A and B are shown apart, each in its own frame.
Chain A
Amino acid sequence: MTASPREAPAEDAEDAARTEDDAALIERSRGEPEAFAELYDRHAPSIHRYVRRRLGDEAADDVVAETFLAAFRRRERYDPARPDALPWLYGIAANLVGKHRRSESRMLRALARTGTDPVTDSIEGADARVSAAACSRELAGALAKLPAGDRDVLLLVAWADLSYQQVAEALSIPLGTVRSRLNRARRKVREALGGSDPTGIVQEETE
């Protein structure tokens, strides 16, 4: 019985989780659809945080739910040679985030303009004065100006900790494209940060 989302996973599910990689789990879910919920348990927290950082509190729940629904419907096409499904899930999430592009840019511009971040100002205990990133306004301004594809690559590297290869898999783009987008995006961000720093000494333009 899996009626309650609050029910603890059964012991056998935990056993399976320890021995089964994502590819095997997805394969199993083809005949046993409810097994896909285990993939949700494994990865929804990471995907949720990523989406929330991009779109804020309000949209995150829906986008994450839709990410996993879309993944579930596409599970037949999952490449079983990839044991870790996280890049695949990030790719789906990034596409869905793309549908909220205007809202994402609006929030970034608001932060750049006012210094108040709509994404984090609702978080209890968060204090704008001690924000983990010292240059939030400049970063937000730079991110807002990036082309969507460049922003996707940059944030998958910076926030999702994906390797270049994983980003290529996630977004279904060639590795070379990942590199060029990332270089371009980093250069723009670097310029924005350098410009904000009156003591900015070094402006490196090369990798």
Chain B
Amino acid sequence: MNDLDELRELRAFRGEVPAADRARLAPGRARLLREASKRRRALRVPAWRVPAWRLAAAGTAVAALGVPGVIAVVGDGPPGDGGRPPTAAQPLGATAFTERAAQIIERRSDYRPGNHQWVYRKVFHGQAGRRAPEYEVHQETWTRFDGLESAYYTGPEGAPKLKIEDEGYVNTGGDSEERTPLQWNVYLPTLPKIPEQLLATMRAQAHKYAAETGAGERGFPEGRDQWVFRRLAGFLAHEVPMPEPARASIFRGIGQIPGVAVREDARDALGRPGVALVRTGEDGIRTEVVIASGSYTYLGRRDVTTTKQYIPYSPEVARSKPKPRLEPRLVPAGEVLIDTALEATGVVGRPGQRP
């Protein structure tokens, strides 16, 4: 046997193993994209690097725009009507609505899940791509209350598998906005109870984070108070880990933000009726947060353009890209950028279980 033969034999050994097709490789690609999506959020918004609600899968509008979000909607106004904040008559309605919500919520007893219980969330992404698998359109996640594990569906459509992961994101620094349910449960009650103080705290945070992201004195393009509005509304999306007294304070805080209006004929992305807290930012994007009447539970959020505009990308990304490919995109007024609903949430005993 000459010295080439053993290599020839070896090359043929297990040569019948086929190359994997696209479907076989899809789950691995999806895992990679999820990781990439996490990194993109970190790149875009270093200080508040995770959406207030942990729901954005790789490639959702949320990740693509760098705008944290969940949503629902109300009737679109005529194009161009929302470039300015609502006038003085409207905030009164918001204050009354949020105060009523706070008073009812304050009477409720609080419930804290056990560390080994799991927080189930089902989020509907109204803007998911047409070819997105069903489990990404109606995205279910299970996160252990202490954050040590999480679970989600992955794999080919028709035969998705529940993937349970050890969660690295529990190991977050003190300045991170990425929190486990337990950490949210501890953090949210530390926010000031007095609305003015809460707003002052959140405005200071907006200033600090804007400086960290390079916006400096200009602040976030949506404006400081719009940032605070979205952020507080985002806190409300934490249905399960949210202690009731904190929820009441957050409602009161939102009621004090200038320019917040109420629409009573709102519907979320799934068509569920509710009351929307509405505010338009300086960037001409109207954010509508739909709350269930009576129970004041969070239903969803929708972001809509009110002017024809370019949707911007963060300066960090533009700088770091030698060949920028995600150029600002020109969108007409009335375009829905984010349309997401918290379809279901609750506490269960194990991943895969639904409330």
Binding site for B on A (CB under 8 A): 1-7, 12, 16, 27-37, 40-41, 44-46, 48-49, 52-53, 60-61, 64-65, 68-69, 72-73, 117, 119-120, 123, 125-126, 131-136, 139-140, 154-155, 157-159, 186, 189-190, 193-194, 197, 200-204, 206-207
Contacts and interface: CB of A to CB of B under 8 A. Distances in A.
A6 B22 contact: yes
B10 A189 contact: yes
A36 B37 CA distance: 11
Given A64-B28, A133-B13, A136-B13, A72 B19 contact: no
A120 B17 contact: yes
25 contacts: A5-B30, A5-B33, A6-B22, A31-B319, A32-B324, A33-B43, A34-B36, A36-B32, A44-B29, A45-B20, A48-B20, A69-B31, A73-B35, A120-B17, A126-B16, A133-B12, A135-B9, A139-B9, A140-B13, A154-B10, A155-B10, A189-B10, A190-B5, A203-B1, A204-B3
Given A31-B322, A33-B40, A135-B9, A123 B27 contact: no
Contacts of B1: 190, 193-194, 197, 200-204
Contact of A3 (B17, B22, B40, B57): B57
Interface residues of B, number: 59
Please provide the 5 A-B residue pairs with the shortest distance between their CB atoms, ordered closest to farther.
Answer: A31-B320, A65-B28, A2-B59, A33-B36, A31-B321
Contacts of B23: 6
Interface string B156-195: 0100000000000000000000000000000000000000
Residue from the set A48, A73, A126 with the largest chain B CB neighbour count within 10 Å:
A48
Contact of B7 (A72, A158, A204): A158
A6 B19 CA distance: 17
Given A27-B322, A45-B25, A3 B6 contact: no
Contacts, number: 192
B39 A5 contact: no
Given A4-B136, A193-B6, 5 more contacts: A32-B40, A34-B59, A72-B35, A120-B16, A190-B5
